[in-house]
Chains A and B, each alone.
Chain A
Amino acid sequence: MSTLHAERLLGLPATGGGLMRRLNIVTAAGGGLVLGVVGWAIARHFMVEKDFGPDQVTVITMACWAIGFMAGIGAFNGPIGWLRGHDLTPEDELFLAGKDQGIRRYFRFTTDHKVVGIQYLVLTMVLFGVGGTMAMLIRTNLISPNSNFLSPQQYNAIVGLHGLIMIIATIIMVTGPFGNFIMPLMIGARDMAFPRLNALSLWLIVAVVPIFLSGAFLGGIPTGWVGYAPLADQAPPGMDAYMMTIIIFAISSAIAGANITTTVLTMRARGMTWNRTPIFVYGVVASVGLAIPAFPMFMASQVLLGLDRTMGAQFYIASGGGSPWLYANLFWLMGHPEVYVILIPAIAALMELTAVFSRKPLFSFNTAVLGIVGISVLSVMVWAHHMYASGWAPNLNGAFMLTTEMISIPTGMLFLVILGTIWRGRIWTRLPMMSTYAMLWNFIIGGITGLYLSDVPLDYALHGSMFVTAHFHYTLMGAGLTGAIGALAYWFPKMTGRMLNERFGFISFWLVQIGFNVTFMGMFAVGLAGQPRRVFTYDNLLATGNFVSTMGAYAIGIGMLFLLYAVISSWRHGVLAPSNPWGSKTLEWTVPNPIPLENFEVLPVVTSDAYGYGEEPYAPVEEPQPQPELEPVSVGATADVDSTEGAQP
């Protein structure tokens, strides 16, 4: 059940929970280690001695780790109790929601959507930190043609791991933190539809982090993040880490997708018709709606790969009747919608904040919705443009070129909506708004170079080159990550109760954006000149372009450190934020800081859309001031508030 009962809010202490009270991330790690070691020992005993390879042992160990971790965090308590006929008591549910647990609730199987949102935010930052460090290593190796900073094997392994980590991080970077923390508030709900599934989807990803990092010590992922067969069939056990990561991540995505979609469809406040639903909510639903059917395809591709690697199956082995094209199809059936799983919510977040900082209604709301729907529909019809050069169905290349180029139309609609909103607006240039400008610049470049690559003859020339690498970084990082950073700057006051330090934020912004364009413009140049991607050395003629790219990458790295400092220092010591520092009109800004456990004392009834800016005389929003009468709040403080205070009868 998604909400707590009234009697629970009338003074009952959170004393329930039983075994659940003793479980946390430490017991989870312990459970994972114990079961992992047991699985490893059993697998070694029964398999290696019977002439099986190391892949069976690796897969069984990783699966046991994941099961042990999830058992240790308490993910199975609910289902097993349910099987036994023991439903949760009100006290159990209060405990699960994190009531009165302070910072400890962030290290438990907590169901409150605000806690899950903060957990996703921290997890995303950790993933970006690890993936970004790997990017620095890659660029350092490419600073000169024969730097030998990394060996070829190390280089391949790091490139694969960097790609996989960044893809996972970018997939969850908006729908994870903001889809969980902000979206339920935005639609006027008290929590997600399925709070325990919400926690489950988060902890599955936490469980998978050690698995894919272990890949670095198991020979790496020499296939790049795409994991193409039959190379993947022959790769070292690091590939098993890749496989297990994708399988578990796909399960997490399906659960999260079902949860978020159901929440939006069934829990919007009364009066919140589709025309009054904020555009960010559309973006989140489109993203997870695409993920629900797409990621199981990816999961299936990895199950088949796992059977090839561990049981000698022949799915991708041509000599046994299999086909690498099968892998390519299953992978890209997920792989291209996945680009929009990343992009749509990021751009939707920017559309949301652009209206706020332009003090104008969102320009042509219906066009924005049509653009999101159009991209979503077309994104499942373009997958084979990644396979022009593979020789698969050349007669279909023309059709896929057409659908790919068509997708620029709904994408252009989103550009028009943002430009129309900015046009003649009373622009309030704060840090979140800067992300909108940066996204417009970067995504134009990413989009137009994408049109070049969708063209079959040109793709034959550029396929597998650094040009492609630069193109997708312009879309996923230049538009996607920039949008996520804008969303962070915009919603930081609501999520933490404090204002983000904009001085450091602006320093970070300029370092990252200038560094980004230097890095990837250089990469376009060397790619056009013929430098292939995923190769650890290159011709001397390409030295200048690569040196410039590496310098740009260092600037990005330094800029990200500034952002990290701004986030941590603001979170700990920042100026206390008023409940609505931007003068926004969406529902999340109507709740106080810190946010009560169940968000709304009385559910709101919506009577107009969220974009009525400019309908009343403009009055600048006051700068936030320190509010000494408020107690300092802990991270995402929500639990220590008596939510019955002020409740209506």
Chain B
Amino acid sequence: MSTTTAPGTPIHREDVDVVGRRWRMGVGFIIVADASFVAAMLFSYRYLRGLNTEGRWLAHGSATAPIWGAWLLAAGLILSAVVFRWGEKGIRGGDRARLVLASGVGVVLLVLVAVGQVVQIAGFPFAMAASAYASSMYLLAGANLFHLVLTLFLGLAMWNRARVGKYSATENWQVGIVSLWWAWVALAAVLSAVTTSFITSPTVGG
């Protein structure tokens, strides 16, 4: 491999946009890995529902969770992601106060959704051991709660760092990355809500 040296190469220092693009790609790969994990859980729900082993996916007469619960939580998450995105657009234009406000409101919404998620889990009208359906519902709700906790950490960091002036119109790539993650978490909640909207197995178990 023949090489030469690059005259004027900016050694030991990188442009903030280069670093930002790199982080965006890295977080993209992390999201791919997380999406694979989420897909495995959604597949488990659909697979066991479709298989209906020994007719025990959902035992006859068993209680089920109301479908609207997951949709309500997903709506809250979408709203929080949209609000944060609004703040991200603000900081791109140099409006730091808007980012502080948006991340603060986003965090409050996340807390509300997280509390709602805990309430939903506590209020499931079945135990985890009741059936494969019950187990799957706890699993998906727990996964959503885990996502919420992670996003809450990031949201809090955004609010605090925006408050102390870490971001500006020219240096805001971290905000963009958190916004990307936030959007993914909201999408995952929607996918989960779609999946759990189909409860009864189409298969007669044998």
Contacts and interface: CB of A to CB of B under 8 A. Distances in A.
B26 A190 contact: no
Interface stretch (B11-19, B85-93, B107-115): B11-19
Contacts of B48: 315, 321-323, 326
A321 B157 contact: no
Contact of B26 (A194, A270, A315): A194
A307 B54 contact: no
A321 B53 contact: yes
A605 B4 contact: yes
Contact of A315 (B12, B21, B44, B161): B44
B56 A610 contact: no
A-side interface size class: 35 or more
A3 B13 contact: yes
Contacts of A254: 29-30, 33-34
Nearest to A603: B9
Interface stretch (B98-106, B129-137, B184-192): B129-137
A601 interface: yes
A5 B138 contact: no
A629 B205 CA distance: 79
Interface stretch (B35-43, B64-72, B74-82): B35-43
B18 to A, nearest CB: 8
In terms of DSSP, what is the predominant structure of the interface of chain B? Answer: helix
A318 B1 CA distance: 59
B128 interface: yes
B132 A1 contact: no
B139 A313 contact: yes
A301 to B, nearest CB: 7
A326 B40 CA distance: 10
A271 B129 CA distance: 59
Contacts of B164: 85
B144 to A, nearest CB: 14
B132 A315 contact: yes
Given A258-B29, A297-B36, A612 B2 contact: yes
Given A193-B26, A276-B1, A314-B135, A297 B11 contact: no
Given A85-B161, A304-B44, A608-B1, A2 B14 contact: yes
B3 A601 contact: no
Contacts of A587: 1, 3
Nearest to A8: B12
Interface residues of B, number: 63
Contacts, number: 208
Interface string A30-50: 000000000000000000000
Given A85-B166, A301-B40, A321-B57, A307 B128 contact: yes
A270 B6 contact: yes
Contacts of B52: 321
Contacts of A299: 37, 40
A258 B26 CA distance: 5
A587 B30 CA distance: 29
A320 B56 contact: yes
A292 B47 contact: no
Contact of B160 (A85, A297, A318, A326): A85
Given A320-B129, A598-B12, A605 B3 contact: yes
Which of A270, A311, A612: most chain B CB closer than 10 A?
Answer: A311
B51 interface: yes
Contact of A304 (B33, B35, B130, B139): B139
B37 A296 contact: yes
Interface in A192-248: 193-194, 197
A326 B47 contact: yes
A6 interface: yes
A82 interface: yes
A319 B56 contact: yes
A648 interface: yes
A397 interface: no
A85 B47 CA distance: 45
Contacts of B47: 323, 326, 329
A285 B65 CA distance: 43
Contacts of A593: none
A82 B2 CA distance: 42
A411 B41 CA distance: 32
Interface in A294-343: 294-297, 299-301, 303-304, 307-308, 311-315, 318-323, 325-326, 329-330, 333
A4 interface: yes
A621 interface: no
B177 interface: no
Contacts of B54: 318-319, 321
Contact of A262 (B26, B33, B153): B26
Given A262-B22, A300-B44, A313 B53 contact: no
Q: Which 9 A-B pairs have the closest CB atoms?
A: A321-B132, A321-B56, A300-B40, A312-B129, A258-B29, A313-B135, A296-B37, A254-B33, A296-B36
Interface of B: 1-6, 9, 11-14, 18-19, 21-23, 25-27, 29-30, 32-37, 40-41, 43-44, 47-48, 51-59, 127-136, 138-139, 153, 156-157, 160-161, 163-164, 166, 205
29 contacts: A3-B13, A8-B12, A83-B157, A84-B160, A190-B12, A254-B29, A254-B33, A257-B33, A258-B26, A258-B27, A258-B30, A266-B21, A276-B1, A278-B1, A300-B40, A303-B41, A311-B129, A315-B132, A315-B136, A319-B56, A321-B53, A321-B58, A323-B53, A326-B48, A587-B1, A601-B11, A603-B11, A607-B3, A610-B1
Given A326-B51, A605-B9, 10 more contacts: A6-B13, A83-B160, A257-B33, A271-B3, A307-B128, A311-B129, A314-B131, A319-B54, A602-B9, A606-B1
